[in-house]
Structure 1
Amino acid sequence: MRSRVLGSVLFGLGILALVFAGGLAFVVAPAAARLPYDMERTQSVAEAPNAQFLQITNGVAKVDTGTLRSTVTVQPDAKTTADLEGDLDGSALVWLVGQEVVRTDTNEVVSAYSTSYAVDRQTAAARDWNGQWLDTGSNRQSVKYTGHMYKFPFGTEKKSYDIFDRDILKAQPARFVKTEEVGGLETYQFVQEITNGRQDLPKDRLDAILGQLMPGATSGSVAYANTRTVWVEPTTGQYIRVQEKQSKTLVGNTGQSVTLLDALFTYTDDTVAKSADAASANRQKLLLVGVWGPLALALLALLLIIAGAILVTRRAAPTTAPRHAHPRHAADEDETAPIR
């Protein structure tokens, strides 16, 4: 009787463990694979040694050579996120992003921008939102973001993803190339090649540059090219390393051309190490609730169910003593009994 009660208890615990395993796999894990509302501010630094770049100081334009440092800061805008409505409410975050490029020898600012846009909490792709804007220092303008910029989806796959380029203001595909270990993690490498691009500058700025760098030209345009390579940790979708080979060339209607930018930006070793550490910690959390936790609970459930079933179905042991096949005579039972 006791074994049957114990077996029933173990069987019930096994079913409960199985329910918890399913809850972890199908409820907790999907919820964990979403950008949190309280995500921490992140900062990435890339440097470009021996770069050619346009420097405008006090209205004077000049092409210089030196090392550039680019710092990109991404932080959540909690107040604006709380005001999101409709299908964005609960499924999107608003990010405030800023970039500043300085020359390392003088710390002078070469270029800067700030922007705000809504990002999907699961795919990390830009969402359609009428509150997005871009400020390049001269004016704040509306912009329509699409694709990815600073993160790939949770569970990144070996396929192409669109990455938005701020200079041409549109997204173009980045194709999967190979897997490669970076910072102790297996990453997916993606390459985006932008050729024959064009950067639109405000007319007053373009005219000022033309007048100083290309006398005689009355009109012109900026040709832009960029080979962008990103190394992504696939479970989290986090960027571990980024490299950009950028070039900008001013082309005048006189046939002349002047290089405005020729630089190879690459994440610093410190940024790669910090990115890898953060991705590794987040990866372990996702694997715990999405893979190892459910598997351990499912195994425990199986053992409990089997043990419970064995105890419930086990036959009870006999409780009566066996009879002798040949009962002895009374005289044999007591050899000292008197003879009558």
Structure 2
Amino acid sequence: MRKILGPVLLGLGGFLLIAGLLGLVWAPGVVKKTPLQVETVTYLDGEAGKIDTSTGDLVENPIYAISDTRTDTELSTDDTVAWVSSSCVMIDRGEEPECVDGSEDMITASVDVFASDRVTALADNESLDLPADAVPHEGLINKFPFDTEKKTYPYWDGTTGQAVEAVYDRTEDLQGTETYVFTVNVDEAPIDIAEGTPGTYTTAKEIYVEPQTGAILNQTEDQQRYLENGTPVLDLQLAFTEDQITQSLDDNAGDRLLLDALTVWLPIVGFVGGALALVAGFLLMRGGKRSGNGHARQRKPVPAGR
């Protein structure tokens, strides 16, 4: 049995050590990258005051927002991922949330095509052959990098068409998950309220980021838009729905479990288990050799009288 078990343990120990080394050196570079196949639909709700052009007054209504973000796998590469994101903000009439083109209840709608680095999550305008009408982006867009730090990041603001600062503000528990909360503030930035109608834009956002994966688990926004003369056109407050937060947390828990399995537990099991298996195999092989040598040195007894 020792002749069989010893070599088996030595082989197992070597295998586990190699697996642990792969988990330590190779796995992070593979799993800490944005997947090439992503399809997410995010739901938000809140309140908005929209100007009634017939009276000039803001009319308050409950609202919902939908953001459908998907990767373009054919256009993406090993280093850069292409995205197509469509979104809308609608007045909530109590029906099933959906984006309805041409509806009077639509407040805003947009389609965004961009690309980002699969590791840093920063916008990449050069690596892929994006459509000619794709707007160049800057900074982070739809996620933060893996192993997010407590610092300031450039963050894309589609309304102003430039990157603004996402400043680390605090660490907050979100239903049992630790998140880093980043704040984004834009104050009276010049924009076009409509084609040929200049105005200003102010917003305050809070972005809840799970730092290990860089996933955004919640986001709140308080936004106002004004005409040049100071007339308010839009006063909007939005946040992830409760169901959306729960779904985001569930999805993120699975992602973190996979990351931990490959980058934390695989090295631990590999190195510890491999070392124990090698030691046990070596001791069994050594014990077997001693036992064999002992039998070789035994002499036959000599009969008395000879």
1:103 has 2:102 as partner: no
1:301 has 2:274 as partner: yes
Q: Which runs of 5+ in 1 are unaligned?
A: 82-88, 134-139, 207-220, 331-340
Mark the CA change 1:15 to 1:142 in structure 2 (over 3 Å): closer, same or farther: closer
Residue matched to 2:30 = 31
1:234 has 2:229 as partner: no
Cα distance between partner residues in 2 of 1:116 and 1:4: 63
Task: Note if contact 1:117-1:131 (Cα within 8 Å) is conserved in structure 2.
Answer: no
Partner of 1:276, secondary structure, is helix
Query: Which of 316, 321, 326 is equivalent to 2:290?
Result: 316
1:62 shift after superposition: 6.1
Partner of 2:257, secondary structure, is helix
Could you tell me which amino acid in structure 2 is paired with residue 12 of structure 1?
G
Cα distance between partner residues in 2 of 1:98 and 1:189: 25
Residue matched to 2:226 = 249
Task: Note if contact 1:67-1:103 (Cα within 8 Å) is conserved in structure 2.
Answer: yes
Residue matched to 1:67 = 62
Task: Note if contact 2:146-2:212 (Cα within 8 Å) is conserved in structure 1.
Answer: yes
Residue matched to 1:43 = 41
State TM-score, norm by structure 2: 0.84
Could you tell me which amino acid in structure 2 is paired with residue 48 of structure 1?
G
Query: Which of 248, 251, 258 is equivalent to 1:278?
Result: 251
Cα distance between partner residues in 1 of 2:58 and 2:32: 46
1:94 has 2:89 as partner: no
| Number of matched pairs | 291
**Deviation above 4 Å: which 4+ runs of structure 1?**
2-6, 130-133, 321-324, 327-330
Cα distance between partner residues in 2 of 1:312 and 1:131: 61
For the pair shown, the structure with the greater C-alpha radius of gyration is 1
Task: Note if contact 2:140-2:153 (Cα within 8 Å) is conserved in structure 1.
Answer: yes
1:131 shift after superposition: 5.2
CA deviation map 1:48-88 (0-9, x unaligned): 22x2223679xx9763211121111101123433xxxxxxx
Cα distance between partner residues in 2 of 1:46 and 1:187: 19
Cα distance between partner residues in 1 of 2:236 and 2:194: 23
Identical columns (%): 23
1:180 shift after superposition: 1.4
1:154 has 2:146 as partner: yes
Could you tell me which amino acid in structure 2 is paired with residue 35 of structure 1?
T
Q: Which runs of 5+ in 2 are unaligned?
A: 95-102
Q: Please show how residues 68-87 of structure 1 align to structure 2 within 5 Å.
A: 68-81=63-76
Mark the CA change 1:143 to 1:62 in structure 2 (over 3 Å): closer, same or farther: farther
Q: Please show how residues 254-265 of structure 1 align to structure 2 within 5 Å.
A: 257-265=230-238
Cα distance between partner residues in 1 of 2:129 and 2:89: 26
Residue matched to 1:185 = 177
Residue matched to 1:218 = none
1:22 shift after superposition: 1.2
Task: Note if contact 1:155-1:237 (Cα within 8 Å) is conserved in structure 2.
Answer: yes
Cα distance between partner residues in 1 of 2:267 and 2:160: 45
Could you tell me which amino acid in structure 1 is paired with residue 211 of structure 2?
P
Residue matched to 2:100 = none
Could you tell me which amino acid in structure 1 is paired with residue 249 of structure 2?
A
Partner of 2:25, secondary structure, is helix
Give the aligned CA root-mean-square deviation in angstroms. Answer: 2.9
Residue matched to 2:98 = none
